[in-house]
Structure 1
Amino acid sequence: MKMIKTAFCLGLVWGASAYADPELHFVDLQEFNAALDAIEAGESPLSAMESYVAQASPVFQAYAQRYETSAASIADAYSERPGYYRSLPELEGYIRLREPEIVSALSRLEAMAPAGEVVPTYFMVADQRAGGTPVLAAGAAGPQINIAVAVDMIALTAETDMSEFPGGTGGRAEASDLPQVVIHENAHVLQLAAQGGLEAYRSIYSPEGGNMLAVAVREGCAEYLTYLASGWRLGDRHVYGEANERALWSEFEAVMDAPPFSVPGWFSGRHPDHADWPAQIGYWMGFRICEYHHQSAADSDAAVRDLFTLYRPDDLRPLAEAYGASLSAN
């Protein structure tokens, strides 16, 4: 769930005329379903996925470029877990049932933001490398930001054949988390708008612009803003976090100035000493820092603006220190 790369800095369409109401698009899911039908009719997975990729939306193409996703990589993922992949087109019906909730939450999120608008979301199938992310894709009025959601990373259900996942879920989320992902990724788009848009974008995902704390707050604030707008959380990592808050803060305080993503276990991978940590527990750590800043602020509206606008490590340290001090005081 990484932010947009700085290479996408020209020709952005951003204004009232760019988008109307929040839009959910299923064209890529439908094209993938056609590829499955072709496989059932005897076509090879590679050939079917080549057709799928060729017919896919510009948003899929932008996602595929970002994550080096190809027809071959999708065919390989399908061949490894065919039952799982055959279930993915069914998610369109589930998402459509929840569309009113999603649209309402997006409207509340947009109302909280000091600048910007929510953007269209495209649901697609990829190769289990990434879930949701904003991308810049070609549009009728020029390049536009959209949300790409690869449902293959967010599709586990009680009916999922876990024999196709002998190594565990590997950070994959439940299908019921799809609405939360849509709001979370739009929170990133609105953070970008509040910070001046693509032309003024400063990456906090590189050592030059950020650190572990900056990543935690960027992602954690998006999680918290999503929660304020919808009441939704991703999975149940907050249960572990709340039960182990002091220990987690002690661990994170020791590494928060380290380069982004330099310590495993917080945002990706597994910590060598903490196999029990839920995936991406650093998102929850950032959530708590942002939550404390908002709930303890004398000016609640100003604190919400901070959740969208703050990004510099030097500006974020006081938030983290205040949160840490609150734990010491209790």
Structure 2
Amino acid sequence: MDRPVIAAMLMLFWSVAAAAEPEIRTDDVARFYAVYDAHGGRPSAAQLESEYLARGSQSLKEFAALRRVTGERIATRIADEPGIYEKARDCLAVLPGVERRLGESLSRLSSLYPEADYPPVAIVVGRGRPVGIVNPSGATIGLEALCAADFMHPDLEDRFVYVIAHEYVHTQQVAAREPPEPGHPDATVLRRSLLEGAAEFIAELVAGGVSNARHAEWGRGRELEIESAFVRDMRGTDLSAWTDNYRPGSDKPYDLGYWVGYRIVKAYYQQADDKRKAVKRIIEMDDPEAFLEESGWTPGMRLE
């Protein structure tokens, strides 16, 4: 057997083996609650900065820098909503089941996309948002934000599995790891929606569900209306109507760009003859306009 074949087999084996044991790190959570408990559940901004953030993992430092997480903002959120931090501690009990299911899901992804590489997932405690991001060290999940997000999925284990699977897909997307700056001509509604929609679709394909089940509920029966509005906005760089527009306590639809992007990606996948090649194309997508045209998607179209 020649070396290229052996190398390819080893790469496939490594990917599947890595997927079977996803690495989920919780050191930052333990550090946070040590500080939290030492100060009676009311640590000051200075204590959170010096004892938690400054001593945190590289993932936590990147998360804090990217999403403006400071000791002051965490302390303010603890004062305003102490319940979400008390609840979050108990959420870690689902992790054994989450790791098992993710191992199965990522093995499926590796079989469809052998190039997949799975960096660690770090679970941290932040200021109540975001639920998850991709950063240079891998994927990072905000424990208190995800635990409080009952509206995404009522079942906590499902919520963890689908959200982490979504973020794992982002770690495979060069376009998600190296996005254009907000306002850049390439940072369009279409680009962002397709990246998020791809993560939703692949997560559903390998794990059985999307990160936020409410999008389908909000969109059902309104496909033509919502997607016609999307077409009008999709080449612009104002994302405010389509992503990152959740308001705490509001029941109004938000992040509908994820849902429209998911439907465009699903349209592409359903018409593809070679499903493995379709998965590769979806993950490695770098030209949103070309992908949109190839998908055959039209506003309001019926999908299986």
TM-score, structure 1 as length reference: 0.76
Change (3 A) 1:298 1:326: farther
How many Å separate the matches in 2 of 1:225 and 1:302? 13
Matched, 1:236 2:214: yes
Deviations 1:17-51 (A, max 9, x none): 9x95420111111112212211228x743354231
Deviations 1:129-185 (A, max 9, x none): 42211222xxxxxxxx32111122211277xxxxxxxxxx8x999844222121111
How many Å separate the matches in 2 of 1:256 and 1:295? 22
How many Å separate the matches in 2 of 1:317 and 1:207? 20
Q: How far is 1:294 from its partner?
A: 0.3
Match of 2:10 in 1: none
1:181-192 equivalences in 2 (<5 Å) = 181-192=163-174
Match of 2:186 in 1: 209
Matched, 1:323 2:297: yes
Residue identity opposite 2:97 in structure 1: L
Whether the aligned pair in 2 keeps the contact of 1:224 and 1:291 (CA below 8 Å) is yes
1:24-103 equivalences in 2 (<5 Å) = 24-40=24-40, 44-50=43-49, 51-103=51-103
How many Å separate the matches in 2 of 1:173 and 1:215? 26
Deviations 1:268-324 (A, max 9, x none): 2279xxx9752211101100110111011223222222111112233133046x210
1:118-197 equivalences in 2 (<5 Å) = 118-136=118-136, 145-156=137-148, 175-176=156-157, 177-192=159-174
Match of 1:313 in 2: 288
Unaligned runs of 5+ residues in structure 1 are 1-15, 137-144, 159-168
Q: How far is 1:247 from its partner?
A: 1.2
Secondary structure of 1:220's counterpart equals helix
Change (3 A) 1:44 1:32: closer
Whether the aligned pair in 1 keeps the contact of 2:121 and 2:139 (CA below 8 Å) is yes
Whether the aligned pair in 2 keeps the contact of 1:59 and 1:122 (CA below 8 Å) is yes
Match of 1:108 in 2: 108
Q: Please, what is the CA RMSD of the aligned residues?
A: 3.1
Change (3 A) 1:174 1:45: farther
Whether the aligned pair in 2 keeps the contact of 1:220 and 1:285 (CA below 8 Å) is yes
How many Å separate the matches in 1 of 2:142 and 2:29? 10
Change (3 A) 1:104 1:55: same
Change (3 A) 1:323 1:122: same
How many Å separate the matches in 1 of 2:263 and 2:74? 36
Residue identity opposite 2:165 in structure 1: I
Matched, 1:297 2:272: yes
Match of 1:11 in 2: none
Whether the aligned pair in 1 keeps the contact of 2:197 and 2:260 (CA below 8 Å) is yes
Unaligned runs of 5+ residues in structure 2 are 1-13
Whether the aligned pair in 1 keeps the contact of 2:161 and 2:207 (CA below 8 Å) is no
Structure 1 window deviating more from structure 2 (309-318 vs 277-286): it is 309-318
Match of 2:5 in 1: none
1:3-42 equivalences in 2 (<5 Å) = 20=18, 21-40=21-40
Residue identity opposite 2:79 in structure 1: S
How many Å separate the matches in 2 of 1:240 and 1:134? 26
Task: Name whichever structure is richer in helix by fraction.
Answer: 2
1:250-269 equivalences in 2 (<5 Å) = 250-259=228-237, 262-269=238-245
How many Å separate the matches in 2 of 1:133 and 1:105? 19
Whether the aligned pair in 2 keeps the contact of 1:219 and 1:286 (CA below 8 Å) is yes
